[in-house]
Amino acid sequence: MDEVIQVTQWLSSITPRKKAKLFFFTTHADAPSPMVGSNDVDTHEETQLPLATTVALHNFKNIDEFLKKKVNTFSCYNVIENEITKTDYEYLRFYSACKYLDVVPPFLDLEKISAIQNKFEMTDEERDYRLLLDSADLVLEKVCDSLKPAGVSQMWTALRKDRNLIRGVKTIDIIGFFVDPNPTGIKECLFFFIVRFLQKADKINRVNTNRLERLIAQCDESSSCEEGKTIDFIIDSLRFYPTELYPFGFCLIMCVIEGRDGAMQEIEKTMEISRHLGMITHTEKNPTKETIELVKKELMKPKYQFYSSFTCWFMSHGDSNSMVLADGETIEREWFLTSFPDISTFQLKPKVFFMVSCRGANKFSLKGDEFEGQSATCDYYDIGSALIRNRMLDITDSVRDISYVQPMMDTLVAYSTILDHLSGRANTHGSIYVDRACVLMSENISRGRSLTEVLEHLSQDLHEILQETMDEDRIVYKQACHYDSFFRKTLKLPYTRHPKEDVHSAPQ
């Protein structure tokens, strides 16, 4: 059959709503750069003009033409070995979007997709199409699905009132002030236009969504939300880190085995919980400084841009400032923690570090029942919320910026013990902190809990456990864990427990 006819038949089989979503997923706002074959030309017209004309004319002709052009480009594309091009990236995004929406063209060359995945050095489990979808776009899709056409229309009206933001933007004028979003697929096109416009204007990104939230907050709840949804529910969905589908993220497990009883148990437990969470996992036993440098270099490869989060377990002996490696050398804990968050592939994504080692030799020793519980309450302030608002600064958009991000942002560091204190372990089962952390995370999958909620429960649970030193003094003590958070959103545990047998550790 003639290819033109095949493409025409394929397009005619796709509903308007799915066409709008396919266009949205394909014109992903955060494509990696610089890429071979990309000259950093502003793609404003390419990503927004088809949406604008579709909304204005109630006609999907320009979106159809865009999708035809993509298919033709991929049909003629020759996969070049070694070099990763912009087209490689677009091809994978297009394929994953089609797979997600169940509209894969029957004539799409799957061998080319496999060849591109080879260039990205993807393992078998990384070839799952869900990895290639952008989780932030999936969250935005759900927001769109939660709004009625009237709600998106109200967002558009609110956006049009911001003269400083829309001044001189031709695509805004194409749509006009008043819009009828009721025809099938037009609501989606208008919502996705608003999103891509705000992204291109550097007003929102995968972490900073305040500007979009403010538009939604101006909607009338009774007319703007689909049944069972509320404005608060929709806005809350934007306040979590986007980790929508499998895999939940990439997990790196680094464990010093030499001289640490139960270390293999620690590895088994952390591997099992990471798999249940739906993470793709890599383990490094007995790491050295060279190992760490090689891992950092590995994580800079383009394929890691597809991951939604990064988690690292580092388990070793240590003191207040450093950690002991397998070869007896030490590394500064601060150096380790500041070097990983700066890796560009995980920028604007949650990064969690579980640092499991002693941070000194002190112990919170128990000496009988000499401590009685005490409580005190002080209520010095009783200021009404209206008074507080009246005294607050008026922070305008002109003094806000989302372009520059401090490297440690979106990072959480969980410590197995507090500064200058021991981190307890059992002879056969390894770190007690690791054991309890894995148990509590496993229990809270599918319960809608956030990671910080689990860590707070862990702090309570661990501090109830009486531990005993292994020396001749046999001192009974308690351990206190804590975490430092630079998170800007909430990281929820996944709603799905992934069976152990479905995921295998990634090869080196």
- Per domain, the residue ranges of the chain are 1-28+44-239, 249-364+405-486
Report the predicted TM-score, pTM, of the whole model to 2 decimal places.
0.85
Neighbours of 345 (CB within 10 A): 17
Does the pLDDT of residue 385 top 70, yes or no? no
- pLDDT (mean) for 183-191: 97
Burial class for 464, CB neighbours closer than 10 Å (0-12, 13-18, 19+): exposed
Q: How far apart are CA 364 and CA 419, in angstroms?
A: 12
Amino acid at 158: A
**What CATH number matches the domain at 249-364+405-486, 3.40.50.300, 3.40.50.150, 1.20.1560.10, 3.40.50.1460?**
3.40.50.1460
C-alpha dist (Å) from residue 397 to 162, 201, 205, 219 = 10, 12, 15, 20
Give residue 63's pLDDT. 96
Q: Which two tokens stand for residue 64?
A: 């159809």
What gap in Å lies between CA 17 and CA 182, rounded to an integer? 12
Residue 439, pLDDT > 70, answer yes
Mean pLDDT value of segment 9-15: 96
The pLDDT, as a whole number, for residue 42 is 47
Q: Give 366's pLDDT tier (boundaries 50, 70, 90).
A: low
